[in-house]
């Protein structure tokens, strides 16, 4: 009897454990479903906000780029001017002497040194903001001929960091013999195609084509010859007919 009660008790215990597990899973699933229902709109809203933030970041970057679009940063002009007018005269003289560009005050919006404190043994760079972009572009096109100074685009802090990070890769590509340069914040690499040169050499040393092929080019098809002869015959017969008719008249 006691053994039967013991078996019954074990069965009840197992059943209770099974029901407890099922109840726990049911409650867990129910809670998760409710959480999903509440989280789904929040996740969707979060996705929309991320897209808006991404769009706003691009717009801000565009505005920053446009704001700096007419600017140049000049390096190497000795610091010692007593006024902005004197600084302008120094810059104007360098441009005229080096690349023969005549700069007028009316073409400049702003001109000032960057940084508050003077750097020892090194002149502070100068920011020059032009009224029109064409004058800035003209200076950039001739910047290689500038001997006394160096000019550069006015990049944002983020772009400067990207350009700095790309420098090791730029040097690596140049060592490989490729043409590489940084355009704004992107690395442009033009690989040297040695296969093209090899192909050119192979073509230049290839034997000439047989003479028969050349003669075929200039050979007139027999059909054209027959057509030409038929045309002459028709013209001759037509002219003879006209002559005979005229003689009868």
Tell me the average confidence (pLDDT) per consecutive run of 10 residues in the chain, 249 residues long.
73 82 84 82 90 92 87 92 93 93 92 81 90 91 89 87 86 85 82 58 44 43 47 48 45
DSSP state of 106: G
Within 13 Å and on the Cβ side, how many CA atoms surround 106? 0
pLDDT given for residue 51 in this prediction:
94
- Assessment of whether the complete model's pTM goes beyond 0.85: no
Q: Is 125 left (phi over 0), alpha (psi -120 to 50) or beta?
A: beta
Q: Give me the pLDDT at residue 136, please.
A: 92
pLDDT for res 243: 43
pLDDT at residue 237 in the model: 52
pLDDT of residue 204: 43
Would you call 22 exposed, middle or buried from its count of C-beta atoms within 10 A (0-12, 13-18, 19+)?
A: exposed
Closest CA to 71 of 104, 108, 28: 108
Cα distance between residue 80 and residue 126, in whole Å: 13
The pLDDT assigned to 208 comes to: 47
**Range 65-154 has CATH code 3.40.50.720:** no
Q: Which residue shows structure tokens 């029901």?
A: 19
């Amino acid at each position: 009897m006691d053994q039967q009660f013991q078996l019954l008790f074990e069965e009840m215990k197992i059943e209770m454990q099974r029901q407890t597990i099922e109840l726990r899973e049911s409650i867990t699933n129910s809670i998760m479903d409710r959480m999903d229902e509440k989280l789904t709109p929040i996740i969707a809203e979060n996705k929309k906000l991320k897209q808006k933030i991404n769009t706003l970041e691009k717009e801000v970057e565009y505005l920053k780029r446009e704001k700096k679009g007419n600017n140049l940063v000049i390096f190497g002009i000795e610091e010692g001017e007593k006024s902005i007018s004197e600084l302008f005269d120094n810059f104007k003289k360098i441009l005229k002497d080096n690349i023969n560009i005549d700069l007028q005050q009316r073409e400049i919006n702003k001109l000032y040194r960057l940084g508050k404190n003077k750097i020892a043994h090194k002149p502070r760079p100068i920011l020059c903001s032009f009224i029109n972009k064409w004058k800035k572009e003209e200076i950039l096109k001739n910047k290689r001929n500038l001997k006394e100074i160096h000019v550069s685009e006015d990049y944002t802090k983020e772009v400067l960091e990207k350009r700095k990070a790309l420098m090791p890769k730029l040097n690596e590509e140049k060592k490989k013999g490729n043409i590489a340069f940084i355009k704004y914040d992107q690395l442009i690499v033009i690989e040297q195609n040695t296969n093209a040169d090899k192909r050119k050499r192979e073509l230049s040393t290839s034997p000439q084509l047989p003479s028969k092929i050349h003669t075929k080019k200039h050979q007139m098809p027999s059909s054209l010859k027959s057509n030409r002869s038929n045309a002459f015959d028709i013209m001759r017969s037509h002219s003879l007919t006209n002559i005979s008719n005229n003689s009868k008249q």
